[in-house]
Amino acid sequence: MFTLKQLKPTRFGFGEGLKSLGEKYPNVVALGADITSSVSVNFFKEAFPNRFFSFGIAEQNIMGAAAGFALGGKIPFATTYGVFSALRATDQVRISICYNNLPVKIGGAHAGISVGPDGATHQALEDIAIMRVLPNMTVLSPCDATQTKLATIASVEQVNGPAYIRFGREAVPDFTTEDLPFEVGKGQLLKEGKDVTIIATGHLVWEALQAAYQLEKQNIDVRVINIHTIKPIDEDIIIKASKETGLIVTAEEHQIYGGLGSAVAEVLVKENPVKIKMIGMNDQFGESGKPEELMQKYGLTSGHIAEKVIEMNKQKQNNERPD
């Protein structure tokens, strides 16, 4: 059973991971787009001032320049808010980075609605969809600060080409340890279960675990899988879960179109079509509010996940009951 260690923003995990990469690899460089402390690139900047390059508020240029650094033998981290790295600069990411298959690592900060009071303009809710359709791109969406550190390191040590690392602003439960190995492309079975599987990504993994623990009391045995790599996705763990539990609930802080839910559906429709309920943003923009208020309003809490699981489990029992 996973327990809460502390509340910690996942962006700090990114900053720590980047700094430790800096210590290990002299060719790692970082490019900043003015918001260096809010995306935690400042950890690296302070440790390695000569390997940090300021590009101002110019996201298209930062992505192109990162491609240039990579051509010059560096491993550049180009980091800004997910809304900008995935959307403002998409063409540069597509052509200069992905078509050239360069080892540019892109940080997508302020992911999800939990950005809070900044409102819809700054809440990245489409970045997974954009990034995962680009050939050569690896998409990482770690579940807490500790795992974000590991994912950041893995983006260099395990990925030769471009990678997108998604992380958030607010302090969220930090519950994994560095002993939990991070393998790009491998889903993590965090809790066994045979009735229903929740497949989650990002900090909704914690919510999924809480839902599963609550449901134990109601004798619903829920499996929880953390998909920290959206692409390449771990097809085996998803197919196995669908065969063994029959029902799938997906949970993500992202639009339900194009995100984790879609990625899981793409896998299952080929191999073992089962019913999937998708929890995420329902084709809508966010708004201002406290993170916890927004998670509540848009149905992204453990309570909402549990409700969906109960609903699905009832349907399953009704279907199994002989008439």
Partner 1 sequence: MPLTNDIQELKKFSLEIRKDVVRNLAEAGSGHLGGSLGLADIFTCLYFNILNHKPDMPDWDHRDRLILSIGHVAPVFYAALAHSGYFNPKELMTLRKLGSRLQGHPGKEHGLPGIELSAGSLGQGLSVAVGLALAGKMDKKTWNVFSIHGDGELQEGAIWEAAMSASHHQLNNLVALVDRNYVQIDGKNSDVMEIEPLKDKFESFGWKVLSCNGHHHKEIIDTYKKAIDWKKGPVVIMAKTHMGKGVKSIEDDYRWHGKPPKPEQVDAFIKELEQNQ
Residues that bind partner 1 (CB under 8 A): 29, 50-51, 53-56, 58, 60-74, 76, 91-92, 94-96, 99-101
Q: How far is the CB of 108 from partner 1 (least distance, A)?
A: 19
Q: Side chain identity at 106, as an amino acid letter? A: I
User: Can you state the angle between helices 235-245 and 260-271, rounded to 10 degrees?
Assistant: 70
Q: Side chain identity at 256, as an amino acid letter? A: I
193 in Cβ contact with 225 (< 8 Å)? no
Phi and psi for 33 in degrees, rounded to 5?
-120, 50
Q: How far is the CB of 77 from partner 1 (least distance, A)?
A: 12
Judged by beta carbon, residue 58 or residue 189, the one nearer partner 1 is 58
Tell me the C-alpha distance between 287 and 290, whole Å. Answer: 10
Q: How far is the CB of 234 from partner 1 (least distance, A)?
A: 26
In DSSP terms, which residues pair with 225 in a beta bridge?
Answer: 189, 199
Q: How far is the CB of 120 from partner 1 (least distance, A)?
A: 24
Q: How far is the CB of 89 from partner 1 (least distance, A)?
A: 9
Q: How far is the CB of 30 from partner 1 (least distance, A)?
A: 12
